[in-house]
């Protein structure tokens, strides 16, 4: 993380208390103490820096701390406009940016096309996008200090480095430093799927689940994991790479250098190429491939069935290893349209391969726009408030 952001100096207890109010508030100190195991005095001490800095406020007393006695409790609530955040999703041909409040609610959005993917050019376009978003409202300029960037591929969040992004053609790009220099903001970078996972954990379908998985279907096949309330990155930052579980034997070859990866079977480009080859139609768009399958073309359907089987096996492997309470499946619109074609095969392979109670895991289909992916980047930026 790089930049000039006036971070709060917090303790683990303060982070716990603030996160609970942020994601589940309004909530009283008594209830926070009950849920977290902290003492009431510890909760009061933990909340004080956030109250003093204007991030939290107390509502008027609305409940009593005990049946028939005790003082009325004053719930704590977030002041969402105390600070604003920018999140940007970087694709190979577009920048999608949002301004959010503390609850990661999008307040303004903007798109900026990319004509090339060289890092210097992307950063220049990023700076222009950020300037435009900040100029939307004078309050954003005064109270926005943090920028979150979501990038596909192998991202070193702590080092601010994009180690490998196949769709951008990047290797070892110090994106956080470059973006901080260009924008003057504190910059946090994260893998795009993990960013979306943070948003789901705090503000979406993951709220209330201590363990869940987010699977994304589209250009790539990604997976974010939350275990015991923590997003899992692994020692090298690549935990959850479900797209590179080998389920296809020795074929086909994958861009990662491996063979038989889920992404090489169910990712948009290989899926479309396989439909074109199987039907003899040559190069197709994803929309044309989906249309062929919907029209009953047996060869096209077979390709989609294979993709669904591969994804179902990978999801079952993940469920067997992690044991999530739920799996949220999302992606871009064409990707999810394809998913609906092979959903039956996904469910069949998952049920056959999931072990024991892992087969009871709920699978939720949730479309997400690119603005919501950018919101995920903003959610990661919001975490910069808690750096101990």
Give the residue carrying structure tokens 């064409």: 334
**Is 156:237 a contact under the CB 8 Å cutoff?**
yes
Q: What share of the chain has pLDDT > 70, as a percent?
A: 93
Task: Give the closest residue to 216 by CA, choosing from 322, 376, 365, 87.
Answer: 365
Backbone CA torsion sign across 58, 148, 222, 346: positive
Average pLDDT over residues 94-122: 96
pTM for the full predicted model: 0.84
As given in the structure block, the two tokens for residue 308 are 């669904």
Domains and CATH numbers, the chain: 12-78 (1.10.10.10), 81-198+372-386 (3.30.420.40), 207-365 (3.30.420.40)
Question: Based on the number of CB atoms within 10 Å of its own CB, is 257 exposed (0-12), middle (13-18) or buried (19 or more)?
Answer: exposed
- Give per-residue pLDDT as tens, 212-247: 999 998 888 989 999 998 888 877 767 788 999 999
Task: Give the closest residue to 309 by CA, choosing from 369, 280, 350.
Answer: 350
- Give per-residue pLDDT as tens, 71-104: 567 899 999 999 999 999 999 999 999 999 999 9
State yes or no: pLDDT of 324 exceeds 90: yes
Confidence at residue 334, expressed as pLDDT on a 0 to 100 scale: 67
CA dihedral 350→351→355→360, nearest 10 degrees, is 100
State yes or no: pLDDT of 264 exceeds 50: yes
The strand pair at 161-165 and 94-100 is best described as unpaired
Distances (CA, A) of 93 to 119, 122, 126, 141, 268: 13, 10, 12, 27, 16
């Amino acid at each position: 993380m790089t930049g000039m952001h006036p971070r709060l100096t917090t303790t683990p207890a303060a982070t716990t208390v603030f996160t609970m109010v942020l994601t589940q508030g309004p909530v009283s100190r008594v209830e926070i103490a009950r849920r977290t195991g902290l003492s009431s005095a510890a909760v009061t001490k933990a909340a004080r820096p956030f109250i003093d800095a204007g991030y939290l406020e107390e509502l008027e007393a609305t409940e009593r701390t005990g049946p028939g006695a005790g003082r009325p409790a004053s719930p704590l609530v977030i002041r969402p406009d105390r600070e604003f955040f920018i999140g940007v999703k970087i694709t190979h041909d577009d920048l999608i940016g949002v301004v959010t409040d503390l609850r990661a609610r999008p307040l303004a959005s903007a798109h900026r096309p990319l004509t090339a993917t060289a890092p210097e050019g992307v950063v220049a376009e990023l700076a222009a996008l950020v300037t435009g978003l900040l100029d939307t409202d004078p309050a954003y300029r005064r109270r926005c200090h943090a920028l979150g960037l979501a990038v596909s591929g192998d991202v070193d969040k702590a080092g601010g480095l994009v180690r490998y992004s196949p769709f951008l053609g990047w290797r070892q790009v110090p994106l956080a430093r470059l973006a901080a220099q260009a924008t003057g903001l504190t910059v946090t970078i994260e893998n795009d799927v993990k960013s979306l996972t943070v948003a789901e954990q705090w503000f979406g379908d993951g709220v209330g689940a201590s363990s869940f998985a987010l699977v994304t279907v589209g250009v790539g096949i990604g997976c974010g994991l939350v275990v015991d309330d923590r997003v899992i990155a692994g020692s090298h930052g690549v935990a959850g790479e479900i797209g590179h579980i080998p389920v296809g034997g020795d074929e086909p070859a994958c861009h990662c250098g491996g063979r038989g990866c889920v992404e090489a079977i169910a990712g948009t480009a290989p899926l479309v190429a396989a439909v074109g080859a199987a039907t003899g139609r040559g190069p197709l768009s994803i929309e044309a491939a989906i249309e062929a399958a919907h029209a009953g073309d047996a060869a096209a359907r077979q390709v989609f069935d294979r993709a669904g089987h591969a994804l179902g096996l990978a999801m079952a492997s993940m469920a067997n290893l992690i044991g999530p309470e739920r799996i949220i499946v999302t992606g871009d619109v064409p990707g999810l349209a394809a998913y609906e074609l092979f959903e039956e095969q996904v469910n069949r392979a998952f049920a056959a391969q999931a072990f024991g109670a892992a087969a009871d895991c709920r699978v939720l289909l949730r479309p997400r726009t690119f603005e919501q992916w950018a919101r995920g980047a903003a959610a990661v930026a919001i975490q910069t408030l808690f750096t101990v």
